[in-house]
Amino acid sequence: MSPETPRVLTDLGDLAGRASPERSGALWRLAEPGRQLDSNLVRLPPGASVGEHAEDDLDVLLVVIAGGGELEDGAGGRLELAPTAVVWLPRTSRRALRAGPGGLVYLTVHRRRPGMTVRGPASGPSAARREPAGGGEGGEPPCMLDRVCPACGRLNERAGTAVCERCGEPLPDGPEG
């Protein structure tokens, strides 16, 4: 099937239902080559939270699939989260999430960030940059790319973590993915 052919990728309800109540992090990621979007199905166990953070470059759509909790908007406001709630998180908006007693499973959808590439000798031997919008899939990954947060760009100190140490977003190759 070609990448241009519409198809069902997964059943989010089934994935959420099969996940252990203690499991944290990404349960699923959109990984189709050539895509313009990124999407993650994330599970927070009961009482777990994602600390306050902002996405400076991208709007994010958050869809609650199962469980519940609350979103704090960074200005002291709180939004209750329940299944089927759709929340728009405008770029630069501050937010924090906390799962309720049954945990929280949510889908995030946003424009895909360009991949990292290594520039040729004209730009310096080890200069890295982001591809321009509409660019390729990225070049040969640096050895610590799995520790770079796609949401905020931070290099996490510990290898093998499921979420960013700064903003709490799922990491591409964390242990839960």
Domain CATH code at residue 80: 2.60.120.10
Q: Please indicate, yes or no, if residue 47 is contained in any of the structural domains.
A: yes
Q: Please indicate, yes or no, if residue 125 is contained in any of the structural domains.
A: no
DSSP-assigned beta bridge partners for residue 155? 148
Q: Please indicate, yes or no, if residue 159 is contained in any of the structural domains.
A: no
Q: Give, in order, the Cα–Cα distances in Å from 32 to each of 36, 83, 127, 175.
A: 9, 26, 27, 20
Q: Please indicate, yes or no, if residue 168 is contained in any of the structural domains.
A: no
Q: What is the pLDDT along the chain (177 residues), one digit of tens a residue?
A: 566 789 899 999 999 999 887 788 999 999 988 889 999 999 999 999 999 998 888 999 999 999 999 999 988 899 999 999 999 999 999 999 999 999 999 999 999 976 655 555 544 444 444 444 444 444 333 455 566 777 666 666 776 777 887 777 777 654 433
* Structure tokens, 142: 């640096």
Helix, strand, coil abundance in the chain, percent, nearest 5: 5, 40, 55
Number of domains in the chain: 1
Query: Residue 32: CA atoms inside 13 Å, Cβ hemisphere, count?
Result: 16
For position 131, what pLDDT does the model report?
42
Q: Please indicate, yes or no, if residue 167 is contained in any of the structural domains.
A: no
* Structure tokens, 120: 């040729």
Q: Please indicate, yes or no, if residue 135 is contained in any of the structural domains.
A: no
Q: Please indicate, yes or no, if residue 86 is contained in any of the structural domains.
A: yes
Q: Please indicate, yes or no, if residue 133 is contained in any of the structural domains.
A: no
Are the CB atoms for 156 and 162 separated by under 8 Å? no
Task: Quote the domain boundaries for residue 100.
Answer: 12-111
